[in-house]
Structure 1
Amino acid sequence: MGQCYGKAVAGESGDVVTTIVAPSSGEDGGVHPQSPLPASEVANNPSVRNTPARSSPWPSPYPAGVPPTPSPARSTPRRFFRRPFPPPSPAKHIKASLAKRLGNAKPKEGPIPEDGGNEGGQLLDKSFGYGKNFGAKYELGKEIGRGHFGHTCSAKGKKGELKDQVVAVKIISKAKMTTAISIEDVRREVKILKALSGHKHLVQFYDACEDSNNVYIVMELCEGGELLDRILSRGGRYPEVDAKVIIKQILNVVSFCHLQGVVHRDLKPENFLFTSKSEDADMKLIDFGLSDFIRPDERLNDIVGSAYYVAPEVLHRSYSLEGDMWSIGVITYILLCGSRPFWARTESGIFRAVLRAEPNFDDLPWPSVSPEAKDFVKRVLNKDYRKRMTAAQALTHPWLRDENQPIPLDILIYKLVKSYLHVTPFKRAALKALSKALTEDELYYLRAEFELLEPTGDGRVTFENFRMALLNNATEAMKESRVPDILNTMTTLSYRKMDFDEFCAAAISTHQLEGREGWDQIASTAFEHFEQEGNRIITVEELARELNLGPTAYSILRDWIRSSDGKLSFLGYTKFLHGVTIRSSNTRHHQ
């Protein structure tokens, strides 16, 4: 919870687009991609090794000696933004050394004029219905962290299951809940924590209480510090073998969240805590203050997150689960090389870089990084969200693949199979041809997902297999609210069975395959299969209906049909698979 700012950023076409300008805790400046923090500076600076909570390895926008002051902004105009950002971190421990190298680079910032506090003067209802007996149940200890809307303390249970157990208590001030939106944010955070609780790499939720002044969220206490602290203690970057351990944990918990219909929207090193100081301690994902529930086909439009980790489509105000994968790509890039993939001296420059620039893989240490690691980062930092891997897919990538590690059920499978069940026979023939050209990497992932459906003795799956797999992997909250909606869209499968070959055709994404370096070879091989088994004479009018296009598209579609025999050409086949639409130019669709 916190605040956000707005600035006018020049779009690719020269248009001015209002966008967020809000570094969160740890997002308040930048290290040039070619200037990672050297290990010598970390080793010789005791304050770096003992980084306080919520600090950042990057420079602060504030002049030396000036502490950060919160903006008077309480909320932002809702036509653009719905959720706020946390305030910047001063990052005093390395600001001076970085300022010398970078010429005292300071991103500028300025608050948007605000409408005022309590939305039209109406009295806000700040009663949450939580227990009123916090003092009787917990003995509050010392403060361990502080944010714009509240702070976190340690505490000890006085009675019940948590008696004598040390916990963390997030204390959110009701006085700072000045809008109905900020109140709803707190309700949703508690609801999400309750719904997700139980995963190995997710902070355990215990209780929620309130009194006239505060809301108290009682959670597991993680005493090992932030991932950010570990990065600093290792000289600003991780060895590749250790980075893989970290990313696997992140992908595991994020895939769990996504399966349950939750997008985190603020993944960054500060939001992963270690359970203890041990080097092999598990990590836990925290801070669901910006998270939200989302359906498989839903797109969100409120701009949230942290400046250096925000995905391009978030800035375009149309995004889904893939935004979290972009953030994981940024984290991976930082772990492997010690600097950010997108950097600028101003916030508007940061967003311009996110939208336009490509990450640098040429400078040190990238030449010594494995090709598999670089391929992984490139595939999750693809500006086209449709081409990014999901969290479950990422765990099957050659860089991370582990035969002994189970692959989680991927919610994308349900979305793609549902679409396949509703396409025409001609489109199914095109997809089946594509499935026959898949590489072993894609097949590895698809076999893992097919096995999770527990096919029957004849090697096929039915609607019941999909239903049971979802129920076996869903939380109680999801079983009540999400599972029925998802399964209702797949009832067509009740009257048929699907073998592995057809499952592959149903569960592949053309867009993701297009993001692979070997796409040209895959497409060429697929077209050969299509020519033998599926290609047929098709008119321009029929092709337009297949693609749900009108007569204005006829002139373009004619180029996709061979004049010699009236069948799809190679160009037409690949475009048909892509599901192209004819529309006016829009930056959201040309990332």
Structure 2
Amino acid sequence: MGHCYSRNISTVEDKDGDVPNGVAQLQNNHRTSVPSSPVASGSTEANPYTISPFQSPLPAGVAPSPARTPGRKFKWPFPPPSPAKPILAALRRRRGTAPQPRDGPIPEESEEVDDQGRAGETAERLDNNFGFSKHFEGKYELGKEVGRGHFGNTCWAKAKKGKIKGQTVAVKIIAKAKMTSALSIEDVRREVKLLKALSGHRHMVKFYDVFEDADNVFLVMELCEGGELLDRILARGGRFPEADAKRILVQILSATAFFHLQGVVHRDLKPENFLFTSKNEDAVLKVIDFGLSDFSRFDQRLNDVVGSAYYVAPEVLHRSYGTEADIWSIGVISYILLCGSRPFYGRTESAIFRCVLRANPNFEDTPWPSISPIAKDFVRRLLNKDHRKRMTAAQALAHPWLRGENPGLLLDFSIYKLVKSYIRASPFRRAALKSLSKAIPEEELVFLKAQFMLLEPEDGGLFLHNFTTALTRYATDAMIESRLPDILNLLQPLAHRKLDFEEFCAAAVSVYQLEALEEWEQIATTAFEDFEREGSRAISVQELAEEMSLGPNAHPLLKDWIRSLDGKLSFLGYKKFLHGVTVRSSSSRPTR
């Protein structure tokens, strides 16, 4: 994986002098406000991602975690294209008379190549004996190389004995000389754990075995001979009809919903990391390469900056993210599939990051006017810069645009987190949420009904054992490793009560995701009217602050939320109270 050092730039232009789509506005509005890059052009001494170039959301005095693997960096998934026809330009580069190696070093990467000798010396001092079987050559006959990455290469092989004797497989060879720290060694162990745990899903690459010798680790996996999703994008000139795009996205989201339920964040979803099993048009798509993946506990956020620049989510740059970062990456893939262009573009990684943080995707230019409104709504709800308003993978599968594909919905772990918060909330907050649930649009109820049925209700309601049984049914070793079942201890109040469907909707509704809908104001108005009739009461500023776990410094703000006439929440106060706004988020500078 190559280095991408940031440069301080004032403008971002392509080689023809044209400003890429979405960047012109950045140049005019944000030249002075964009944080400067930590590393100047041409530096080879410092790691540019030991410090995020953007303000950390972590509390004062809390240092961000280092990247799990010191060698992890952003890398460019395509060579920089013309902004007018990005995919076609990449295709021309591939078919040129003197094509560059696909994963060859880009200019900024040369320093790492020079350091390979020192890396090997460091690796020799580490204990890189994994305890894997040493008999790879006795079981497999290694053939030609079929892919190459920064930390190793992938080769064709044939099984000589065992259950898959005679079958062709793919062998990912990871050089131990590249493992320059204890953390990088642990990364390999984690990748093996993940491949073993997740390989049973239809859209996950199958894992067969792992071996090692003195120099390499060998991961034996299913051979997918249909090529990368990127190759098919390029072969089509970058744009898919909606029907074909839906077929691909359903498979991507199905796999993502599965490993998200296990508490796994992939962190590098991009067209290169999806392979087709064959050359057939209807071939099954599989997700690969969990080398950057990590476990994400339900009550924690990750904060190391890894991934690929064009697909990185805003919250990753701010060092506070979870599974929602993968959804953003899928949103970028969706945008590319439908129109053939990237939603965020820059000729340097710092310019890309500016676009990701500041620019909005262009849905006005060709071909977007000819694309259905429901498809555009789908992409917009994946590319929402507020990760709380983004759809989950399971919700995306239930979106009206994909619903006709009949992908089969998976349990969504976000339901557990929302129900946990609901049953531990005060009666006043539960009343506010119940009023909101009565105003949920029918389209949004489809997802909640599906999740309710996946929990297998009894006598029309859900008890604690329904949540326990459902989570156990889908559990793999990855879920245990990420400790997601720990949330069941926080659902203990359900052992003595039942949630019927109406109350389940109140518990499982996401206020933030409803706010992302165009009809949010109407939803909130209807909910507030019901709240006024059924659940509202006079509340003091002090009591409201306690409800929201805020201190006395919040009282001046909360005072504006309560009507002086009757001491009850105003419409503004009701909306703010619903999503638990804090003084910090209320007083933050508005985004422009």
* Deviation at residue 407 of structure 1 after TM alignment: 1.1
| Equivalent residue number for residue 507 of structure 1 | 508
- After superposition, where does 1:40-119 map in structure 2 within 5 Å? 48=95, 55=102, 70-73=109-112, 117=119
Query: What amino acid does structure 2 have at the position aligned with 1:189?
Result: E
1:178 match: secondary structure? coil
* Deviation at residue 478 of structure 1 after TM alignment: 2.7
Residue 347 to residue 530, structure 1, CA distance change in 2 (3 Å) = same
Residue 332 to residue 403, structure 1, CA distance change in 2 (3 Å) = closer
Deviations 1:306-345 (A, max 9, x none): 0000000000000000000000000000000000000112
| Equivalent residue number for residue 538 of structure 2 | 537
Query: Is residue 281 from structure 1 mapped to residue 283 from structure 2 by the alignment?
Result: yes
2:560 match: secondary structure? helix
| Equivalent residue number for residue 22 of structure 2 | none
Contact 1:124 1:179 in 2 (8 A): yes
Residue 118 to residue 12, structure 1, CA distance change in 2 (3 Å) = farther
| Equivalent residue number for residue 580 of structure 1 | 581
Query: What amino acid does structure 1 have at the position aligned with 2:579?
Result: H
Deviations 1:349-406 (A, max 9, x none): 1100000000000100000000000001111100000000000000111111137432
Contact 1:316 1:588 in 2 (8 A): no
Counterpart CA distance in 2 for 1:284 and 1:214 is 25
Counterpart CA distance in 1 for 2:197 and 2:481 is 11
Query: What amino acid does structure 1 have at the position aligned with 2:110?
Result: S
Query: What amino acid does structure 1 have at the position aligned with 2:369?
Result: P
Structure 2 counterpart of 1:435, from 407, 432, 437 = 437
Q: Unaligned 5+ residue runs, structure 1?
A: 63-67, 75-110
* Deviation at residue 16 of structure 1 after TM alignment: 3.5
- After superposition, where does 1:317-336 map in structure 2 within 5 Å? 317-336=319-338
Structure 1 counterpart of 2:85, from 19, 27, 35 = 35
Residue 354 to residue 148, structure 1, CA distance change in 2 (3 Å) = same
* Deviation at residue 35 of structure 1 after TM alignment: 3.4
2:171 match: secondary structure? strand
Contact 1:2 1:149 in 2 (8 A): no
* Deviation at residue 297 of structure 1 after TM alignment: 2.1
Counterpart CA distance in 2 for 1:215 and 1:477 is 21
Counterpart CA distance in 2 for 1:349 and 1:400 is 33
Residue 526 to residue 325, structure 1, CA distance change in 2 (3 Å) = same
Counterpart CA distance in 2 for 1:365 and 1:214 is 47
Residue 427 to residue 69, structure 1, CA distance change in 2 (3 Å) = closer
| Equivalent residue number for residue 105 of structure 1 | none
Contact 1:49 1:233 in 2 (8 A): no
Q: Unaligned 5+ residue runs, structure 2?
A: 10-29, 39-47, 54-72
Query: Is residue 16 from structure 1 mapped to residue 46 from structure 2 by the alignment?
Result: no
1:170 match: secondary structure? strand
Contact 1:70 1:148 in 2 (8 A): no
Contact 1:139 1:156 in 2 (8 A): yes
Residue 17 to residue 69, structure 1, CA distance change in 2 (3 Å) = closer
Structure 1 counterpart of 2:318, from 316, 319, 328 = 316
Counterpart CA distance in 1 for 2:588 and 2:77 is 29
Counterpart CA distance in 2 for 1:403 and 1:229 is 24
Contact 2:274 2:288 in 1 (8 A): yes
Deviations 1:101-141 (A, max 9, x none): xxxxxxxxxx9x99x75999993111111111111111111
Contact 2:247 2:405 in 1 (8 A): no
* Deviation at residue 72 of structure 1 after TM alignment: 2.7
Residue 389 to residue 232, structure 1, CA distance change in 2 (3 Å) = same
Residue 31 to residue 588, structure 1, CA distance change in 2 (3 Å) = farther
Residue 263 to residue 434, structure 1, CA distance change in 2 (3 Å) = same
RMSD: 3.0
Structure 1 counterpart of 2:256, from 229, 254, 257 = 254
Contact 2:191 2:291 in 1 (8 A): yes
TM-score, scaled relative to structure 2? 0.85
Residue 368 to residue 555, structure 1, CA distance change in 2 (3 Å) = same
Identity %: 63
| Equivalent residue number for residue 408 of structure 2 | 406
Residue 423 to residue 584, structure 1, CA distance change in 2 (3 Å) = closer
Query: Is residue 170 from structure 1 mapped to residue 166 from structure 2 by the alignment?
Result: no
Structure 1 counterpart of 2:77, from 22, 26, 34 = 26
Structure 1 counterpart of 2:212, from 202, 206, 210 = 210
Residue 328 to residue 38, structure 1, CA distance change in 2 (3 Å) = same
Contact 2:4 2:109 in 1 (8 A): no
Counterpart CA distance in 2 for 1:585 and 1:404 is 41
| Equivalent residue number for residue 148 of structure 1 | 150
The worse-fitting range, judged by mean Cα deviation, of 329-338 and 11-20 is: 11-20
Contact 2:264 2:482 in 1 (8 A): no
| Equivalent residue number for residue 390 of structure 2 | 388
* Deviation at residue 3 of structure 1 after TM alignment: 4.6
- After superposition, where does 1:322-361 map in structure 2 within 5 Å? 322-361=324-363
Query: What amino acid does structure 2 have at the position aligned with 1:135?
Result: E
Deviations 1:506-528 (A, max 9, x none): 00111111111111111111101
Aligned length: 540
- After superposition, where does 1:478-489 map in structure 2 within 5 Å? 478=479, 482=483, 484-489=485-490
Structure 1 counterpart of 2:373, from 371, 374, 377 = 371
Deviations 1:26-60 (A, max 9, x none): 2442442x435459x96xx796599999949xxx9
